[in-house]
Chain A
């Protein structure tokens, strides 16, 4: 049982970490090399990594969406591809609906390796090549050089708020337990004890009455052998 709990706890921790890693914004300093849109097939497998259907992106009959992409290069020379999609109104809660503006901004900030213009792109999501998933770019800010990494304040603030929410939930649950559950359990225990005591008393009574009756019968039998009744 102990090991089951440990395994489940570790799995929960990994799940929470992965969820936060996916959903929280992250900032990367990159150089934009190209912006374009491409008809993209979204399969049922990777559809959860794209915007939901009702956010303005229209799917054609072959299940393809016209999605905007931003090609970038990192300071270490590796490439990175962002998508640029509206998020809609519910999930993930970025409430982004300016992807057209963001795209023109990205196009404006395109640069070559000879005259680089470094930018910091805020995005959420994962790049998983074999699932064809891309992080969704949220905002673009220009930075002075490839070594400038602006601090990720939004993610920090969200984490702090989440921590306090967790603390509150814990305190509320402890209060509920102390003031409502424990007294109720005590009452049930008390009622159960009363029932048991009554059952014990009833059994004792039955036993004593039975032995009394037995005594009476054996006394009566004794009279046949000339013994006086006790």
Chain B
């Protein structure tokens, strides 16, 4: 039984680490896209500036509530489902 709990804790930790890394990655991608959008809209003010930072900051406010950010929870669901699937196929087929 302890082995099973060890597995659960380990899998949860790995999934949490992956979630954290992917969260950083997705935010980074979104910020880059927003910076590109600003540069496209204001060609005369292209490049790093306080105005662009403000634009990116305001656009990122509701990022956590977007569909893409919510889909990130699949990081917890898919591997767990895969493990359960393996357990099923190995032991009940």
Chain A residues close to B by CB (< 8 Å): 54-55, 88-90, 93-98, 101, 138-139, 171-172, 175-176, 179-180
Give B21-32 as 1s and 0s: 1 = Cβ < 8 Å from A's Cβ atoms: 110110011011
Interface contact B25-A90, CB-CB below 8 Å: no
Asked if B86 lies at the interface with its beta carbon under 8 angstroms from chain A, I say: yes
- Known: A94-B86, A175-B29. Is A89-B7 also a contact (CB below 8 A)? yes
Main SS of chain B's interface residues? Answer: helix
Taking CB atoms, residues of chain B closer than 8 Å to A55 are 3
Min Cβ gap A188→B in Å is 17
CA distance A123 to B62 in the complex (A): 49
Residues of chain B at interface, number, CB under 8 A: 22
Interface contact A175-B25, CB-CB below 8 Å: yes
CA distance A135 to B91 in the complex (A): 18
Min Cβ gap A100→B in Å is 11
Taking CB atoms, residues of chain A closer than 8 Å to B6 are 89-90
Taking CB atoms, residues of chain A closer than 8 Å to B7 are 89-90
* Closest residue on chain A to residue B32 by CB atoms: A179
Interface contact B28-A95, CB-CB below 8 Å: no
**A–B pairs, 20, beta carbons within 8 Å:** A88-B3, A89-B3, A89-B4, A89-B6, A90-B3, A90-B10, A94-B90, A95-B86, A95-B87, A96-B90, A101-B91, A138-B90, A139-B90, A171-B25, A172-B21, A172-B25, A175-B32, A176-B28, A179-B32, A180-B28
Taking CB atoms, residues of chain B closer than 8 Å to A180 are 28
CA distance A101 to B91 in the complex (A): 9
Taking CB atoms, residues of chain B closer than 8 Å to A138 are 90
CA distance A88 to B91 in the complex (A): 12
Asked if B66 lies at the interface with its beta carbon under 8 angstroms from chain A, I say: no
Interface contact B86-A179, CB-CB below 8 Å: no
Asked if B74 lies at the interface with its beta carbon under 8 angstroms from chain A, I say: no
Among A54, A95, A98, max chain B CB count under 10 A is at A95
CA distance A176 to B31 in the complex (A): 12
Asked if B49 lies at the interface with its beta carbon under 8 angstroms from chain A, I say: no
Min Cβ gap B83→A in Å is 7
Taking CB atoms, residues of chain B closer than 8 Å to A88 are 3
